[in-house]
Amino acid sequence: MDNAILFKNVSHVYQENTPLEFHALEDVSLKIKSGSFVSIIGKTGSGKSTLIKHINALLKPTSGSVTIGDKKITSHTNNKHLKPLRQKIGMVFQFPEQQLFAETVEEDIAFGPSNFGVTGDELNDTVMHAANLVHLDHDLLKKSPFDLSGGQKRRVAIAGVLAMNPEILVLDEPTAGLDLEGQQYILDLIRRLNREENMTIVLVSHQMDDVAKYSDRVVVMSGGKVVKKCYPDELFTDVNFLNKYDLQVPETVKITKDLADKGVTLDKLSLDADELINGIINKLRNEDKDE
Amino acid sequence: MNNFIFGRYLPGNSLIHKMNPAAKMLIAFAYIIMVFFANNLITYIVMAATVLLFVLLSKCSFGYFIEGLMPMLWVIIFTVMIQVFFGSGGHVYFSWGIVKLTSYGILNAIVLTIRFMLIIAMSTVLTLTTSPLEISQGISALLKPLKRFNFPVETFSLMISISLRFVPTLTDETKLIMDAQRSRGVDFGDGGLIKRVKAFVPLLIPLFVSAFKHADDLSIAMEARGYQTNRERSHFHTFKWKPNDFVCMLLILVMAIVIFIYRS
Ligand SMILES: Nc1ncnc2c1ncn2[C@@H]1O[C@H](COP(=O)(O)OP(=O)(O)OP(=O)(O)O)[C@@H](O)[C@H]1O
Ligand SMILES: [Mg+2]
């Protein structure tokens, strides 16, 4: 089914008509194709979280409209009848472990699907499937979520979202505060969900290396506006643009550039570290042959 | 809910905003007491004129004062109803069982409404122009004299400022957790009473967990920095008594004298 996300001239004003009024989004238009992996980047306060909260109608546009599949959300949309939309969209917020509350890990993972009417064996299967997806030890399922380590809690929280079987997965800095291995694990999981289950991924991230490596498309935000929508290689080779918006240059791009400055031009730009290493090795081999 | 008591503060630069919080609280307190001494047309006009002056000086638009009235509206209506229908004395216009419509009842209802409005307007001036932190500092300044009677003023005011300090933090966390649970299919404020109460469990448990965690972290941080109970503490923002504080307090004093002269 096509679940494209379409923002049409969306503006959002916090605390409208008070002196604290704040225009967090201004005239944002954006299309996210079904099944794609899109990263949203931008400085802190640029409106990324505000943008993604529109995807499952936690926030409604002050003006303009957001369409997900065939459901259109405007400022007049009623708060009722949002359940089907919310089921379709998994939201992983920053520090999602804050949402844990149930007595056991198992119950917490089951919370989402049971709210959407899944029961009995089906519920059990869903919980097990989600736990397997995040590689959660089965002995942990009967434990209290509050007795787990930080990284384990994060996995439980993500499993709780995946258990809803979403078609679109929206993540707001899901790797913040994890060790390198934990970060890798979660990003690889997201990529797997994107490729194998054809889940649409919307990722908010400050880690340019990850954005460069994983995403199909990048959306750059600044001051509540979308300032660029493009392919990652297009964005990350434009160093002037990156500097202008205070975005880091990924290590892979830096290395490629340093090599070029020293006279070694690689055949193509690789944004994935492993690919880059292979590229360099090939280059060295070829040069050996030439001599 | 957001607009009630907390988060009503409107940052601003007016004369009233810049007043010493302790002076503002004294003024509001004195004013509210004086409301109960006013008892005829002249005194009520003086009271209303005074609060109007403060409202104008605060430079906050009237809309906020109307909004401040809203949460109290039902209380006012309820009290007025009781006065109108069960008050006794004076000319009886209408009577049915214990329900009586009398001239005194109606008069009382009008007086009550006026008093409510005056009190709400004055306290709204206070809460609109004073940040929670300033309120806590005002309270501790006013409590200082109690130290003589071994009242733990320092501890008490620290308690107030810590609580106020965490109101915005917990509000933010509440919003975040609500968003997360909504995304997992919770409908806050939908369905019958039991369903609604149940919906709050996934909100309250994470909130308590996080409140305890904040308390834990804070106590460790305070201990690490050598906090001891009931020692005199200094403040980053100190409030001096400025001329406008005295002018406003004088104004209230004059108002009080006028009211004592003209009340019947
Ligand atoms: N409830 C609110 N009321 C008023 N202003 C708000 C509210 N929530 C966010 N804002 C403001 O809107 C702007 C955008 O906030 P948002 O959370 O979308 O930024 P962000 O891009 O996600 O930043 P970060 O990278 O730090 O998470 C910020 O300047 C913020 O102060
Ligand atoms: Mg954010």
Q: Is residue B75 part of a domain?
A: yes
Range of the structural domain that residue B168 is part of: 152-225
- For residues B106 and B81, the answer to whether their CB atoms sit within 8 Å is no
- How far is the C-alpha of A155 from the C-alpha of A96, rounded, in Å? 9
Architecture of domain A3-249: 3-Layer(aba) Sandwich (3.40)
> Model confidence over A69-95: pLDDT tens digits?
989 999 999 888 888 999 999 999 999
B76 with B114, same domain: the answer is yes
Q: Amino acid identity, residue A114?
A: S
Helix, strand, or coil (residue A221): strand
Ligand 1 atom index nearest CA of A50: 18
Ligand nearest to the CA of A246: 1
Q: A115 in contact with B at a CB cutoff of 8 Å?
A: yes
**Span from the CA of A18 to the centroid of ligand 1 (angstroms):** 17
Distance from CA of B10 to the nearest CA of A (A): 7
Q: Is residue B136 part of a domain?
A: no
Residues B185, A86: C-beta atoms closer than 8 Å: yes
Distances (CA, A) of B36 to B39, B114, B180: 8, 11, 49
Question: What residues in B contact A112, CB-CB < 8 Å?
Answer: 184-185
Angle, vertex CA A13, rays to CA A218 and CA A176, nearest 5: 45
B56 with B19, same domain: the answer is yes
- Compute the average pLDDT of residues A7-20: 88
Ligand nearest to the CA of A93: 2
- For residues B62 and B133, the answer to whether their CB atoms sit within 8 Å is no
Ligand nearest to the CA of A171: 2
Q: Is residue B6 part of a domain?
A: no
B34 with B122, same domain: the answer is yes
- How far is the C-alpha of A124 from the C-alpha of A113, rounded, in Å? 10
Ligand 1 atom index nearest CA of A20: 4
Those of residues 9-28 in A touching chain B at CB distance below 8 A are: 18-20
Residues A58, B186: C-beta atoms closer than 8 Å: no
B21 with B122, same domain: the answer is yes
Phi, psi angles (nearest 5°) of residue A231: -80, 150
> Model confidence over A42-52: pLDDT tens digits?
999 999 999 99
- How far is the C-alpha of B241 from the C-alpha of B261, rounded, in Å? 29
B245 with B211, same domain: the answer is no
Q: Which of B10, B177, B185 sits opposite A99 (nearest CB)?
A: B177
B92 with B192, same domain: the answer is no
DSSP state, residue A222 = E
Residues A86, B183: C-beta atoms closer than 8 Å: yes
Closest-CA residue, ligand 1 atom 16, reads A47
The residue to which tokens 């810590």 are assigned: B162
B225-233 contact pairs (CB < 8 A, 24+): B229/B152, B229/B154, B229/B155, B230/B152, B230/B154, B230/B155, B231/B154, B232/B154, B233/B154, B233/B158
B203 with B78, same domain: the answer is no
B115 with B202, same domain: the answer is no
Q: What is the mean pLDDT of each run of 10 residues along chain B (264 residues)?
A: 53 87 92 90 92 90 79 84 78 77 84 89 89 84 86 83 84 92 87 82 93 93 85 74 89 92 86
B37 with B111, same domain: the answer is yes
Here the tokens at position A16 are 């409208």
What is the per-residue burial (b if ≥16 Cβ within 10 Å, else e) of B218-244? eeeeeeeeeeeeeeeeeeeeebeeeee
Residues A58, B183: C-beta atoms closer than 8 Å: yes
Phi, psi angles (nearest 5°) of residue A8: -125, 110
What pLDDT sits at residue B5? 43
Q: Which residues line ligand 1 (CB under 6 A)?
A: A 14-15, 22, 24, 42, 44-50
Range(s) of chain A covered by CATH 3.40.50.300: 3-249
B36 with B101, same domain: the answer is yes
Residues A19, B206: C-beta atoms closer than 8 Å: no
The domain total for chain B is 2
- How far is the C-alpha of A94 from the C-alpha of A29, rounded, in Å? 24
B175 with B256, same domain: the answer is no
Q: A111 in contact with B at a CB cutoff of 8 Å?
A: yes
Q: What is the arrangement of strands in the sheet containing A71-73, beginning at the earlier edge strand?
A: A22-32, A5-14, A63-68, A71-73
- How far is the C-alpha of A68 from the C-alpha of A71, rounded, in Å? 5
pTM value is 0.78
> Model confidence over A95-131: pLDDT tens digits?
999 999 999 999 999 999 999 999 999 999 999 999 9
Report the complex ipTM.
Answer: 0.88
